[in-house]
Copies of this chain bind each other. A is one copy, B any other.
Amino acid sequence: VSEDRVDLILRQWARERPDLDASPMEVIGRIMRMSRHLERELQTVYQRYGLDFGLFDVLATLRRSGAPYRLSPKELNDWCMLTSGAMTARLDRLEKSGLVARRADPGDRRGILVELSPAGLALIDDVVEQHLVNEERLLAPLGARERVELARLLRQLVAPIEANGERRASLPRVSDPTRTPTGESAIA
């Protein structure tokens, strides 16, 4: 029964622009605001171990890939939703801390392989446990049934977007009404 900022935002839009249907913000605005809140709340665990979200994400990806905990930077890019340049920087930091090591890829001399060090493995196995306790705390307002339902609805939203890598275009592309579709205005 409690209100949040998005409730206020919608009421403001209804007053100022009653011609618009701002209801999509109820879902999308809450997802984006909750994500910001989560970044802040989850950090309380990471920083106990000298990590941040980015480094945790890389370590966790290597850990759950299974022994020998070895992935290419390219694979890490895909999992972590990151550009390759940013991943290089993350790996530099992790290597400097001794949590991962870069090895030459025997099968492809362009590539390298990133491997969890024993210290990195021990660390992430610790952190992920605290991390899950922390996530549990943040989900406390929801019952078991509600969590399943929420997870299902979110999957429906995410899956079409993440499928666009393998299959093609489950969601329509944005059209730009300021440009004519046939390119007649290509003179400019």
Contacts and interface: CB of A to CB of B under 8 A. Distances in A.
A75 to B, nearest CB: 12
Interface of A: 2-7, 9, 12-13, 15-17, 20-28, 30-39, 41, 44-45, 48, 63-66, 79, 81, 125, 128-130, 132, 134-142, 146-147, 149-151, 153-163, 171-172, 174, 176-178
A159 B34 contact: no
A37 B48 CA distance: 29
* Oligomer copy total: 2
26 contacts: A2-B160, A4-B158, A5-B79, A12-B65, A15-B66, A17-B128, A21-B132, A24-B132, A24-B147, A25-B135, A26-B154, A27-B139, A30-B155, A31-B31, A32-B39, A33-B81, A34-B158, A130-B177, A139-B157, A140-B171, A140-B172, A141-B157, A141-B159, A142-B157, A149-B149, A150-B154
A9 B64 contact: yes
B150 A41 contact: no
Contact of A20 (B24, B128, B134, B163): B128
Contacts of A15: 66
A68 to B, nearest CB: 12
